[in-house]
Homo-oligomer: A and B are copies of this chain.
Amino acid sequence: MVGGGQLARMTHQAAIALGQSLRVLSAGPDESAALVAADVRIGAHDDLAALRDLADGATVVTFDHEHVPTEHLAALEAAGTRVAPGPRALVHAQDKLVLRRALAAAGEPQPAWAEVATAADVTRFAGEHGWPVVLKTPRGGYDGKGVFVVRDAGEAAGLLERHGTLLAEERVAMVRELSAQVARSPFGQVAVWPVVETVQRDGVCAEVVAPAPGLPDELATAAQELAVRIADSLGVVGMLAVELFQTADGVQVNELAMRPHNSGHWTIEGARTSQFEQHLRAVLDYPLGSTAMTASVVVMANVLGGAAAEPDWAGAPLDERMHHLMAHWPDVKVHWYGKTQRRGRKLGHVTALGDDLADVRARAGAAARYLADGVVDPAFAFETEH
């Protein structure tokens, strides 16, 4: 797996059960996955020699992020390495303009968009779809980076000068964000999980609720079918997350990830087969596992670095917060990624399961906030267990 982050870390966990050991190409020895995997190569994801070394003797090469240059993947394939997803599929998760064009050609629902090179292009687009306009760098963005909401031509001009050609999108009047995950094997077998709601804060995923509360069955099915159509038509092998805007009329595709995705962390405990195991099954061309949920409501909350990540933090240290979390919520599952704490960084996540949406959501949220910063939610301050 190219990339040594938490996705590789959790994929390694899943690989262990399948009798496999994940080889990781990690930027450094202290990355999340490099800390726990047996076979770690230190190197850059854009260094062809490092990629060749990773591929040597491996069954298949896969990814924990989208940043490997297409030409390097083509070079690996030319040398006989199996790459999953392949570069022709992956480019749709790497380049938002390529994705928009492909979805337009296939007639799939998406926001109004245009390729813009000048402020006049943006003004023309705004004339049709209104200000503000969302401008996105076609490549390299993640967690809200590379996404800009501009209110006038002047703001647009500054961004275009800095970034070159951009993707312009209408600002969608959305109800909420959803994610539909599907796994697809080389053989073409697909497996879908229930569609989930993803809650973003400051452009970063904060919480995922499975299944998406109150989502009408026909819309859930439509979203799953959309994800399967995209996976099939692009020839995706492995996990595909289709990030969706839910609008008054249905759903529109926001963007794609072709790898395990933050919107699927809930599946570790919440589904019979986790997205990490399923990704491995798919890229190894094994039959896919059951995606049945193990509880009626599952909520995952990210632990994002906050005040406790600052050097002058005077509150309870992480180990003490971990103790208190475990004492308060003996059935909340913790996943800690072993990273250096830094503000806004995804440091870990917690998962709560149960039958009552409000209760499960409150527990997950309170546990994550407590682990991040020792902030005690008054509703839980005097509880000793749940």
A residues in contact (CB < 8 Å) with B: 9-10, 12-13, 15-21, 34-38, 40, 272-273, 281, 286-290, 292, 294-295, 322-323, 326-327, 330-331, 333-338, 348, 353
Query: What separation, in Å, do the CA atoms of A338 and B19 have in the docked complex?
Result: 5
Known: A15-B36, A18-B336, A19-B337. 17 other contacts (CB 8 A): A10-B16, A12-B36, A13-B17, A17-B334, A18-B334, A19-B322, A19-B334, A19-B336, A34-B38, A36-B38, A272-B331, A272-B333, A272-B353, A273-B331, A286-B326, A287-B327, A288-B330
Q: Which residue of B lies closest to A324 (CB)?
A: B287
Query: What separation, in Å, do the CA atoms of A17 and B353 have in the docked complex?
Result: 17
Which residues in B have their C-beta under 8 angstroms from that of A335?
Answer: 17
Which residues in B have their C-beta under 8 angstroms from that of A34?
Answer: 38
Query: What separation, in Å, do the CA atoms of A323 and B21 have in the docked complex?
Result: 18
Which residues in B have their C-beta under 8 angstroms from that of A10?
Answer: 16
Query: What separation, in Å, do the CA atoms of A337 and B21 have in the docked complex?
Result: 11
Q: Which residue of B lies closest to A335 (CB)?
A: B17
Which residues in B have their C-beta under 8 angstroms from that of A273?
Answer: 330-331
Q: Which secondary structure characterizes the binding site on chain A?
A: loop
Which residues in B have their C-beta under 8 angstroms from that of A38?
Answer: 34-38, 40
* Among B17, B20, B336, B348, contact of A333 (Cβ-Cβ < 8 Å): B17
* Among B21, B290, B336, contact of A17 (Cβ-Cβ < 8 Å): B336
Which residues in B have their C-beta under 8 angstroms from that of A19?
Answer: 322, 334, 336-338, 348
Select the residue from A34, A288, A333, A348 with max chain B CB neighbours within 10 A.
A333
Query: What separation, in Å, do the CA atoms of A326 and B286 have in the docked complex?
Result: 7
Query: What separation, in Å, do the CA atoms of A286 and B326 have in the docked complex?
Result: 7
Chain A to chain B contacts (Cβ below 8 Å), 5 pairs: A18-B336, A19-B322, A272-B333, A281-B326, A286-B323
Q: Which residue of B lies closest to A37 (CB)?
A: B38
A74 → chain B closest CB, angstroms: 28
Task: Give the number of times this chain occurs in the complex, counting copies.
Answer: 2
Q: Which residue of B lies closest to A22 (CB)?
A: B36
Q: Which residue of B lies closest to A347 (CB)?
A: B19
Which residues in B have their C-beta under 8 angstroms from that of A35?
Answer: 21, 38
Which residues in B have their C-beta under 8 angstroms from that of A323?
Answer: 286-287
Query: What separation, in Å, do the CA atoms of A292 and B355 have in the docked complex?
Result: 14
A318 → chain B closest CB, angstroms: 8
Query: What separation, in Å, do the CA atoms of A336 and B13 have in the docked complex?
Result: 13
Which residues in B have their C-beta under 8 angstroms from that of A18?
Answer: 334, 336
Q: Are B326 and A287 in contact (CB under 8 A)?
A: yes
* Among B37, B292, B337, contact of A331 (Cβ-Cβ < 8 Å): B292
Which residues in B have their C-beta under 8 angstroms from that of A326?
Answer: 281, 286-289
Q: Which residue of B lies closest to A10 (CB)?
A: B16
A238 → chain B closest CB, angstroms: 16
Q: Which residue of B lies closest to A191 (CB)?
A: B330
Which residues in B have their C-beta under 8 angstroms from that of A327?
Answer: 287
Query: What separation, in Å, do the CA atoms of A348 and B17 have in the docked complex?
Result: 9
- What are the 5 A-B residue pairs with the smallest beta carbon separation, nearest first? A19-B336, A290-B331, A287-B327, A287-B326, A290-B330
* Among B13, B21, B289, contact of A330 (Cβ-Cβ < 8 Å): B289
Q: Which residue of B lies closest to A268 (CB)?
A: B17
Select the residue from A286, A295, A335, A337 with max chain B CB neighbours within 10 A.
A286
Q: Are B9 and A289 in contact (CB under 8 A)?
A: no
Query: What separation, in Å, do the CA atoms of A48 and B9 have in the docked complex?
Result: 33
Select the residue from A17, A34, A37, A338 with max chain B CB neighbours within 10 A.
A17
